[in-house]
Amino acid sequence: MFDQAESLRRLTRRASRPASFAIVGADGSGCSTLTAELAISLTRNGQRPLLLDAQPGQVLSRRLGLPPAATLSGPTRRPRALSELMSQSPHGITLLNLYASAAERAELSELAWHRLQGEFQPLERDADVVLINAPSPADDPIPAGIADNLILVLGPDTESLTQAYAELKRLHGFAGRLSANVLINRCDHLDEARLLFNRLAEVAGSYLQLPLRMVGFVPYDISVPRSQTLRRPLADAFPHSEAAEAYGQLAAQLPHWHTPPPGGADTGYLELLASASRDCTLAIGF
């Protein structure tokens, strides 16, 4: 009876969809690891994250220790049930593998999208937050461009800074992105993280008039690659490591990073993904 009453209270408190956060960054910046570890920390904070993987390679499945699922990509183009794309982690995380190119998504029939959206809506409504492991905007800007919020992951190397600015520029031009959250990864200390952020913020402000907000940093920690070698999430393998504690702190703050979309748009993420893929493929020809 308690569980049923709590479910009713949840529905009463929030009839609209949850906020979505797209996580992007330079190659090798640790976006997939960050996405998986944030999701685990959210569940341990009592939240219900819905995890969407729009990157190739089934990386999130590996990070969570799950078998690979079907994706939206492939030669058959037949309608799929959402369950074929879904995995459930022992942590209580629902993972959907939505990887496909924009052209492949545009080729899916209206019937296929309608079926997927109908199955997706209850999952989305039941979630507290949607996390998207987004591909590089240079390859496909749509998964990150349609999210409510952007979390840009910045590493300590020069290439990461250069690519991060290019991704901001791409999303600013493609999706009219007006702001972005920046998370610094693999820094030795806070002063280094602030220095990196200030360099990016200065360039973005000067050339794009795009305000950035630093939301935190994750210190360099050898436990992260060790956990990947063990094929176990860091939160399970080394829960008391510096990086694991940082992920937990960031997950606790993540709901406060949400900026509501103008006009209070309430269109579901999968519906936006379908329409944007069709429109952009026709107009731009990805």
Task: Report if pTM > 0.85.
Answer: yes
At 22, the pLDDT band (50, 70, 90 cuts) reads: very high
- Report pLDDT for 175: 84
Tokens of 60: 């999130």
Q: What is the pLDDT of residues 59-103, one digit of tens each?
A: 999 999 999 999 998 765 555 789 999 999 999 999 999 999 999
For residue 1, is it within any domain?
no
Provide the domain count of the chain. Answer: 1
> At which residue do the structure tokens 């905007």 appear?
137
Helices (H), 127-157: 142-145
For residue 251, is it within any domain?
yes
Q: What is the pLDDT of residues 188-215, one digit of tens each?
A: 999 999 999 999 999 999 999 999 999 9
More confident residue, 9 or 182: 182
> For the domain that residue 213 is a member of, what is the CATH number?
3.40.50.300
Domain around 26: 16-283
- Cβ 185 vs Cβ 217: under 8 Å: yes
At 8, the pLDDT band (50, 70, 90 cuts) reads: very low
